[in-house]
Amino acid sequence: MSTILFRVFRNNSYPVIRSCSAQSLTSNICRQRYSSFPLTSAPYRFGNWENGGGVFHISADIDPSAIIETGAIVHSSAIIASDVCIGSGSIIGPSVYIGCSTSIGYNVKLSNCSVGSSCVIHHGASIGQDGFGFFVSEGIVTKKPQLLHVKIGSNVEIGANTCIDRGSWRDTTIGDDSKIDNLVQIGHNVAIGCSCIICGQVGIAGSATLGDYVTLGGRAMVRDHVSIASKVRIAANSGVTRSIVEPGGDYGGFPAVPIREWRRWIAYTHKINMEISEK
């Protein structure tokens, strides 16, 4: 037996908690059983999910096979498909969609986003928060509206403590089968194609576009509003400051140039340094 808790706040007074039992595992039955309670008088209608012990809002649409572990919270109007597992401490915000067989780790925060099927999101990832965008005029800094979403395809893996910002003028998108390492920052409006590999500590600035099968080495940086063609590989610690329009090819350095040119420059610089040190 689960317990549904109704919190009623009136005039900043101490909340009155009413409880009643429910046998239902699904939110649809919850809505039928408690439809007589208007939302205006009971805005916080949460219950304990029997398959794991987490907390859910009764307006959420959750498949009975989903696991919501103790300490996790699913907010109103979220949609959780079959065989989803949500780890302890995770927060699934309002109207978030999670596709079937997706695994959500501990302390993950999802808002303003949809996640495809068979995805893995590791501990501490944060997806769907506002992007970093401001208007600056005569010394006054004003926040730009960040009102769109993050759309994540199927079979995507997102590493621990990675952050993906919601869009402002277009949705932030991650294509099917892409793999993202730990501690990656993906700015607002970024579009990442299918089967991309993004290694740890990469930073992708807002409105950048990556084609399919792009690989970014560790700590690589991509400037805002640039495009990288499909099947391009960027070496670790490189900085992409202008668009790469030719598909394929390897690039490295700062600013990133074709890899052979970068290696020649490194060899030449080393030679000059050796000559200076011998004098």
Contact 126, 111 (CB under 8 A): no
For residue 267, report the phi and psi dihedrals to the nearest 5 degrees: -65, -40
d(CA 119, CA 97): 12
d(CA 49, CA 167): 32
Instruction: State the pairing for strand pair 67-68/44-48.
Output: unpaired
- Residue 181, CA distances (Å) to 68, 87, 163, 197, 215 in order: 25, 19, 11, 8, 11
Contact 201, 184 (CB under 8 A): yes
What positions carry a catalytic annotation?
Answer: 188
